[in-house]
Amino acid sequence: MNMMRTAVLIAVLTALFMGVGYLVGGQSGMLIALLFAAGMNVFTYWNADRMVLSMYGAREVNEATAPRYYATVRELAARAGLPMPKVYIIDSPQPNAFATGRNPQNAAVAASTGLLQALTAEEVAGVMAHELAHVKHHDTLTMTITATIAGAISMLANFAFFFGGHRDERSPLGAFGAIAAALLAPIAAMMVQMAVSRTREYSADRTGAEICGNPRALASALAKIAGAAHQIPNAAAEANPATAHLFIINPLSGQRMDNLFSTHPATENRIAALMELDRDMNRRGSAPAGRGVGLPGGFGSRPAAASAAPRRGPWG
State the binding site: 130, 134, 201
Q: Which of 75, 123, 131, 210 is catalytic?
A: 131
Distance CA(210)–CA(81), nearest Å, equals 13
Distance CA(304)–CA(311), nearest Å, equals 13
Distance CA(239)–CA(68), nearest Å, equals 31
Q: What is the b/e burial string over 103-118, where b = at least 16 CB atoms within 10 angstroms of the residue's CB?
A: ebebbbbbbbbbbbeb
131 is catalytic: yes
Question: What residues form the annotated binding site for Zn(2+)?
Answer: 130, 134, 201
**Which residues make Cβ contacts (< 8 Å) with residue 9, sequence separation at least 6?**
142, 145, 146, 192, 196
Q: Are 195 and 60 in contact (CB under 8 A)?
A: no
Distance CA(282)–CA(265), nearest Å, equals 25
Which residues are catalytic, by number? 131
